[in-house]
Structure 1
Amino acid sequence: MSCEVSAPRPPSTAPTLPAALAGPYHPADTPGVALRLTCPHGWPLLLLWGLALNPVTEEAIFFDTRPTLWAEVESLLEPWANVTLTCQSPLWTLEFQLLKDGVAQELVHLGSPATEYRFPLGAVTGDTRGLYRCRYSMDSGRTSLSNLVEVTGAEPLPPPLLSTKPVPWITRGLNTTLLCLGGLRGVTFLLRREGDDQFLEVAEAPEDTQATFPVHRAGNYSCSYRTHASGAPSEPSATVTIEELATPPPPTLTLDSGFAGLLRPGSRTTLTCVAPLSGVDFQLRRGEEVLQVPMASTSPDRVFFQLNTLAPGDGGVYTCRYRLRDELAPWSLDSAPAELVLSDGTLPAPELSAEPATLRPEPGTLVQLRCRAPRAGVRFALVREGAGQRRVHGLLSPAGTEAHFELRDVSAVDSANYSCVYTDTAPPLAGSAPSAPVELRVDGPLPRPRLRPLWTGAVTPGRDAVLRCEGHVPDVSFLLLRSGEEEPSAVVWTTHPSADLVLTYVGPQHAGNYSCGYRSNWPHSLLSQLSDPVELQVAGG
């Protein structure tokens, strides 16, 4: 299938300069652009910030709006004698800007639209040594930074960046490659495998700044480059490890968060399966049964399995897996199971009680919720309610008539209404009405997280600064806050109780004291106390 792309037309006049482009780089800068595509049957396709919903092919189309920066030299024999930095944008623009060591330089206004601008540095001196990026202005007002180019003016040359595509492993049917990206155009790239003196792959890139190497053996790889045949190679890249796997690693399977596992017969739901790479075939299973259900996709690495008009027998444990589009390729490992609980409400309601009996426990204590059914041999589900949603909080199949659910180290995020249901584990697969609810309230703020810098000393201007925020609650948004500022410097949502918060391309303007917190959005919107501060110092500041 082919589509026609209608890209934004070159502007006839200079657009209004976004504030983010006029000042120092802000972490909110993101890549992406909205484009309209016309495909067969007249279906329109809207690309929004890198993700497309395609009703024709049910696959995604990505358009990367980040610019590319590279260095061109007058002579590869003397690479630092006369240097020009070229910034290339994928869209027409009237404005380019170079950034050095995290600080925006003078904005360049063009008389006519262009997709490339050359910034001459000349002979590298102490004033022009540094870490460079570039950006350009878009009609949308958004902007994103290019790749990093290091100008040292000294030997050995700065290291390239080595990455894997699509994944850091090899298996039958998968063409894994290593991409070595440098900052100089026209160099020769060298790939080495650790511990193998006989292995050396060489690739020339006369018109490019990168080289791709196919990988057929597991090992630890690094790459470097040289400007001419007799020249010394650059510093090596960081090492990348390639594994050989007989079976690809598992995907992830998640349930529609609106119900998270508890449904009535006759309703519908969606399960999302996400693979670690794109262009694969997916399979949904209940036990060992392969299910043929409607599927949709908004991205080539995932699929939505649509379960419509659920019957009592549709409850149970689901898994998904994927396979490369090769009949001889093996199926991946199964995802972690996701369980659907179907209850028609025809069986008598169970009884739910709490221990200790107080419904306002102290933060940090253990609370047990006991669900008692009229008979044994059933499957219990503890249900938590909040913000108009009901989610299964836990599942147990005890030998007797009572299930004990534990809430450990409770905090304000555990405040909710709890109820329980039970279901048959064999036909006729009926389910109970819910128990009377138990309202649990935990006073006080969410526990304070801990913030750790993942660097020592002062941060080199132009490098990234990574801070790890360690919380106590999963499924939250972590926020990095700079002292004296209201807007967060970085935000990350994760299912884990900790996250790495990144300040990209640090400059002197980033120096200061930082704290982190986390926000729980379900069942209540709660913000934790802030961590103790961490000081970020920028070298030379």
Structure 2
Amino acid sequence: MSLLTTVLLLWGKTSWDLKPLWADGTSEAILRLDPQSLLEPWANLTLTCEASFPTKSFQLIMNGWRLHQVNLQKYVLSHQFPLGPITSSNSGLYRCRYGVEPPTTELNELNKWTMLSNLVEVTGTEPLPRPSLSVQPVPWVVPLLGTHLRCHSALRGVTFMLRLEGDDSFLKEITAQDKDQAWFAVYKPGTYSCSYRTHAEGTPSEPSAPVIIKAYTKPPPPILDFFGNYPQVKFQTTLEILACRAPMNVHDFQLRRGERVLNVRGVSPLRDLMIYHLNFTELEDQGPFTCRYRIHRKVEGWSEDSEPVELMWSDETLPAPVLTAEPSSKNLEPGSTVRLRCTAPKDGLRFGLQRQGDIIEDPLIQMLKPAGTEAVFELHDVSTIDSGNYSCVYMEQTPPFSGSAPSKILELLVNGPPPKPKLEALWTGKVPLGHEAKFRCHGHVPKVSMELVREGYRLPFWMSSAMRSTWAELKLPFVGPQHTGNYSCRYTAESPFEFVSGTSDPVELIVEDI
């Protein structure tokens, strides 16, 4: 594992996705099916595209490429696209989007339209298309506390049915009236799916994709991390800010050191987040710290403890250590192992390795507590993205916790360009019209942004991130024949460790034609 891998794994505790540049099913536009009669939904069908704010322009896209566009004279919140009777000529997969008016005089396809709506399948045949099933807020239950499953269909006013695999007696039904979704409270673990019917004698739809609900004796652990995710060696006169994040809204949090609950000032800007301000001068020892949460005030049990977090500070009153590299820190070969040796004048210390950054000053890379006077930080499989300036510090492990000045800067220089990623196609053969083309980009370090790029295009088609892992999924969620081509991926990191990888070898995408 390289040095950068080590520090970024330390930072990367949560996963996040950047907004894609082409489509996203969780956008502002909503597409609904409005049949003339639920008794015969395919006899005379209209598609309604709903907007979040007034607009004059709407687009309806079929099978990823057929386009119907309207430009109205006045602002409206929705527009209807009549399809009439459903036949082979108008059946397929649909999405919609609507126009926006951003504060710019230069409108292009990326900023004059919203992201694409939810996907709606129009088959014209029985059984009806499957609904979607999702879980909120968490895919698990604990004693006395359940969770909720949301079954959603593009048709309004249908009756939703929830089933539990392996339990023929389990069936919950909700008629949605004028809504397109139903919420089910569940308290049992298992594999759930849902379907719907348009009327009492109607044939149920295809079942949704299954959702697995797990059971725990106590809630799973939260995530405790440095606020901003960048650990540093601090001065003893400064504060350290830790953030404890739960997987759902909770009643209260605890910050702990071992089995002791700490009385530390905290601020909760959100019901799933607690931010603690730690004053080093008031701490009796160095930690490590953990946090936990309680879901409800009437429920006695607390969650599992988070992974521990250790702090490091220094008053710079002790002599600076000496940092050396084995082999020499210059002209290192990619893939080699480097040992950074930090030597102090006595034993029984805690050592920290730092790397100079731009915005974040000297992020803390690793911490070691060796028995002797030396700490050896091993960096495996290094590459040019590990090049940089490093120093080390140490601090005592008993009060008053005095610390050293940093060592002299040691420059690490690894030859060669950044290693390029590998792009994997998660499908076989041709991708059907209107379906999703999903890729997986395999990089070399976590905490990077990954981009899907197409040959001949400057802007990426999709962006995502790899936080805890070294790979991320990238996709084209609604393909048409125009998306046939060669695709590659690349990854980038921002300050304090800025770099841009090369592009992967291309993967060919072929979309079936009509």
Is TM more than 0.5 here? yes
Distance 2:128 2:181 in 1: 15
Alignment of 1:165-314 (within 5 A): 165-172=136-143, 174-257=145-228, 260-296=231-267, 299-307=270-278, 313=284
Residue matched to 2:508 = 535
What is the CA distance between 1:311 and its match in structure 2?
Answer: 5.1
Paired residues of 2:59 and 2:69 also in contact (CA < 8 A): yes
Distance 2:286 2:148 in 1: 42
Distance 2:436 2:300 in 1: 39
Q: Deviations over 1:235-284 (max 9, x none)?
A: 11111101111211122222145851310111123222222223543332
Between the two structures, name the one with larger relative contact order (CA 8 Å, sep ≥ 6): 2
Residue matched to 2:440 = 468
Letter in 2 for 1:359: K
Letter in 1 for 2:274: V
Residue matched to 2:498 = 525
What is the CA distance between 1:288 and its match in structure 2?
Answer: 3.3
Distance 1:128 1:395 in 2: 63
2:37 corresponds to which of 75, 96, 103:
75
Give the match's secondary structure for 2:56.
strand
2:94 equivalent to 1:121: no
1:316 corresponds to which of 256, 277, 287:
287
What is the CA distance between 1:303 and its match in structure 2?
Answer: 3.3
Q: Structure 1 pair 314/255, CA: closer, same or farther in 2 (3 Å)?
A: farther
Letter in 2 for 1:275: A
Residue matched to 2:393 = 421
Q: Structure 1 pair 106/297, CA: closer, same or farther in 2 (3 Å)?
A: farther
Residue matched to 2:59 = 97
Q: Structure 1 pair 540/192, CA: closer, same or farther in 2 (3 Å)?
A: same
Residue matched to 2:453 = 481
Residue matched to 2:362 = 390
Letter in 1 for 2:203: A
Distance 1:312 1:387 in 2: 30
Q: Structure 1 pair 259/205, CA: closer, same or farther in 2 (3 Å)?
A: closer
Structure 1 spans left out of the alignment, 5+ residues:
1-25, 33-63
2:322 equivalent to 1:360: no
Paired residues of 2:319 and 2:404 also in contact (CA < 8 A): yes
What is the CA distance between 1:116 and its match in structure 2?
Answer: 2.2
2:39 equivalent to 1:66: no
Paired residues of 1:383 and 1:391 also in contact (CA < 8 A): yes
Distance 1:488 1:400 in 2: 51
Residue matched to 1:457 = 429
Letter in 2 for 1:95: S
Distance 1:69 1:310 in 2: 58
Distance 1:467 1:238 in 2: 20
Distance 2:250 2:32 in 1: 31
Give the match's secondary structure for 2:356.
strand
Q: Which 10-residue stretch deviates more, 287-296 or 336-345?
A: 287-296
What is the TM-score when the length of structure 1 is the normalising length?
0.84
Distance 1:299 1:105 in 2: 42
Distance 2:512 2:268 in 1: 47
Distance 2:196 2:283 in 1: 62
Paired residues of 1:71 and 1:183 also in contact (CA < 8 A): yes
Q: Structure 1 pair 121/244, CA: closer, same or farther in 2 (3 Å)?
A: same
Give the match's secondary structure for 2:129.
coil
Distance 1:137 1:297 in 2: 38
Paired residues of 2:98 and 2:113 also in contact (CA < 8 A): no
What is the CA distance between 1:368 and its match in structure 2?
Answer: 0.5
Distance 1:310 1:87 in 2: 59
2:94 equivalent to 1:132: yes
Q: Which 10-residue stretch deviates more, 517-526 or 80-89?
A: 517-526
2:485 corresponds to which of 509, 512, 537:
512
What is the CA distance between 1:375 and its match in structure 2?
Answer: 1.5
What is the CA distance between 1:321 and its match in structure 2?
Answer: 2.0
Distance 2:230 2:134 in 1: 39
Residue matched to 2:298 = 327
Give the match's secondary structure for 2:289.
strand
What is the CA distance between 1:88 and its match in structure 2?
Answer: 2.0
Q: Which 10-residue stretch deviates more, 311-320 or 197-206?
A: 311-320
Q: Which 10-residue stretch deviates more, 298-307 or 427-436?
A: 298-307
1:447 corresponds to which of 416, 419, 431:
419
Give the match's secondary structure for 2:340.
strand
Paired residues of 1:423 and 1:429 also in contact (CA < 8 A): yes
Paired residues of 1:261 and 1:339 also in contact (CA < 8 A): no
Q: Which 10-residue stretch deviates more, 150-159 or 92-101?
A: 92-101
Paired residues of 1:312 and 1:429 also in contact (CA < 8 A): no
What is the CA distance between 1:173 and its match in structure 2?
Answer: 5.8
Q: Which 10-residue stretch deviates more, 405-414 or 130-139?
A: 130-139
Structure 2 spans left out of the alignment, 5+ residues:
1-18, 103-111
Residue matched to 2:307 = 336
In the alignment of these two chains, the number of paired residues is 485
Paired residues of 2:251 and 2:297 also in contact (CA < 8 A): no
Distance 1:314 1:143 in 2: 53
What is the CA distance between 1:98 and its match in structure 2?
Answer: 1.5
Paired residues of 2:21 and 2:460 also in contact (CA < 8 A): no
Letter in 1 for 2:37: S
Distance 1:533 1:507 in 2: 19
Distance 1:447 1:499 in 2: 16
What is the TM-score when the length of structure 2 is the normalising length?
0.88
Paired residues of 2:54 and 2:76 also in contact (CA < 8 A): yes
Distance 2:28 2:494 in 1: 32
Alignment of 1:10-89 (within 5 A): 27-28=20-21, 66-89=28-51
Paired residues of 1:414 and 1:442 also in contact (CA < 8 A): yes
What is the CA distance between 1:313 and its match in structure 2?
Answer: 4.4
CA RMSD of aligned residues (A): 2.4
Give the match's secondary structure for 1:338.
coil
What is the CA distance between 1:29 and its match in structure 2?
Answer: 5.7
